Amino acid sequence: MRVLVYSDDASTREKVRLAIGRRPAADVPVVEIVECATQPAAVKWLDSGEIDVAVLDGEAAPAGGMGICRQAKDEVYDCPPVCLIIGRRDDRWLAEWSRADAVVAQPLDPMALAEAVAGLMRRRGETRLTAG
The whole-angstrom separation of Cα 10 and Cα 125 is 29
Identify the domain containing residue 44 by its residue range. 2-131
Q: What is the DSSP string of 31-94?
A: PEEEEE-SHHHHHHHHHHT--SEEEEETT-SSS-HHHHHHHHHHHSTTPPPEEEEESSGGGHHH
Terminal CA-to-CA distance of the chain, rounded, Å? 16
- Structurally, how many domains does the chain consist of? 1
pTM given for the model:
0.94
pLDDT value at residue 32: 98
**Alpha carbon 106 to its chain's center:** 14
CATH (domain of 108): 3.40.50.2300
Give the max Cα distance, the chain: 39
pLDDT tens-digit profile, the chain (132 residues): 999 999 999 999 999 999 999 999 999 999 999 999 999 999 999 999 999 999 999 999 999 999 999 999 999 999 999 999 999 878 889 889 999 999 999 999 999 999 999 999 999 987 665 555
